Homo-oligomer: A and B are copies of this chain.
Amino acid sequence: MRRTVKIVLIWLLLILNGSSLNAAETDPLSSWNEGASKKSIVDFVTKATGEGDPDFVKPEDRIATFDHDGTLWAEQPMYFQIMFAMDRVRAMAPKHPDWKNKQPFKAVLERDTKALAALGETGFLKIIALTHTGITTDQFSKFVADWIATARHPRFNRPYTELVYQPMLELLRYLRANGFKTFIVSGGGVEFMRVFTERVYGIPPEQVVGSSGVVKYQLQAGQKPVLIKEGKIEFVNDGPGKPVGINRFIGRRPVFAYGNSDGDQQMLEWTAAGSGASFMGLVHHTDAEREWAYDRKSSVGRLNKAWDEAVKRGWTVTNMKTEWKKVFAFEK
């Protein structure tokens, strides 16, 4: 009997020892090179979760917010939601023969890159309005789900959801494993993102904050009630709208925020203005080979004022080229 007990004990010790060795070997941020960003992330999380540490953050205050386009997934050659809207225009075109000679639809149907570039914001808003309204919320979700399952990114010929950044997926998991609640706070349409955020990022619909249009409840006799998406913008969750959206949807101030453009500056300012420790980060797109390189002069995801502010205030600026071992999971 004694011998059996000893053997069992030794065996238990081996298992326990093995698993602790395993834990030490598995780096939760393995796609991040050892650099300034990784260090500042790990330092912050270590302090925030260290009981007795002056920078300890109570579990209920561990709110982390992430911009979406350009921070969690790519945003070139255009925001993916615009790519979706243009595909919708093409799908709807057979019922609208007049679009062949009418801008902005003509440019979309002919895939005329030059004309598309010239459309400007008004042209794109027209396309968004047309493809996002006059339908029920259920219909819209189905259009998005079908598109996300079948559409392919023009440069990489892969589903758009494969253009998510592997280091950021690891960061989201790392934060959650340390008791943080992760939120998306994006200028993109909230109903567009919610279709896939749970599956792709592990972020459920109610933890996604975004822009929205007016929606109206409609109940016709003998039918099931529906929510109709109307043609009026309700809320733009960008720039100074981000702290407003955070207040409205989350109701707590983040202690951790990551963005990539000037549209994220106010979210980072708001996070920095909290009473305790906080982390502010920006992704800098510097890798034209694996992804894209753009900053101060880009029309999509411009990083100019927020960059200056970050440098001035010592916020983390992540150089994608040097700090990310891997950008996309599909890279060899």
Give chain A's interface residues, CB within 8 Å of chain B: 1-2, 60, 137, 181, 183, 190-191, 194, 198, 204-208, 212, 215-217, 219, 224-225, 227, 240-241, 243-244, 247-252, 266, 269-270, 273
Please tell me if the beta carbons of A250 and B205 are within 8 angstroms of each other in the complex.
yes
Please tell me if the beta carbons of B248 and A215 are within 8 angstroms of each other in the complex.
yes
Q: Enumerate chain B residues within 8 angstroms of A219, measured Cβ to Cβ.
A: 266, 269
Please tell me if the beta carbons of B269 and A243 are within 8 angstroms of each other in the complex.
no
- A248 and B249 CA atoms in complex are apart in Å by 9
- A251 and B227 CA atoms in complex are apart in Å by 12
Please tell me if the beta carbons of A243 and B227 are within 8 angstroms of each other in the complex.
yes
Q: Enumerate chain B residues within 8 angstroms of A247, measured Cβ to Cβ.
A: 137, 191, 215, 227
CB distance from A249 to the nearest CB of B (A): 6
- A250 and B208 CA atoms in complex are apart in Å by 9
- Indicate whether A251 sits within 8 Å of B194 (C-beta atoms), given known contacts A225-B266, A225-B270, A273-B224: yes
Please tell me if the beta carbons of A206 and B60 are within 8 angstroms of each other in the complex.
no
- Indicate whether A190 sits within 8 Å of B251 (C-beta atoms), given known contacts A217-B266, A266-B217, A270-B225: yes
Q: Enumerate chain B residues within 8 angstroms of A206, measured Cβ to Cβ.
A: 181, 183, 206-207, 249-252
Please tell me if the beta carbons of A251 and B1 are within 8 angstroms of each other in the complex.
no
Please tell me if the beta carbons of B252 and A205 are within 8 angstroms of each other in the complex.
yes
- A225 and B270 CA atoms in complex are apart in Å by 6
Task: Pick the residue among B60, B249, B273 that contacts A225 (CB under 8 A).
Answer: B273
Which 5 pairs show the lowest CB-CB distances between chains A and B?
A205-B251, A217-B240, A224-B273, A194-B251, A206-B250
Instruction: Tell me the nearest residue of chain B to A219, going by C-beta.
Output: B269
Please tell me if the beta carbons of A208 and B251 are within 8 angstroms of each other in the complex.
yes
Task: Pick the residue among B2, B225, B248 that contacts A1 (CB under 8 A).
Answer: B2
- A215 and B247 CA atoms in complex are apart in Å by 9
Q: Enumerate chain B residues within 8 angstroms of A212, measured Cβ to Cβ.
A: 248
- Indicate whether A244 sits within 8 Å of B215 (C-beta atoms), given known contacts A205-B250, A208-B251, A249-B206: yes
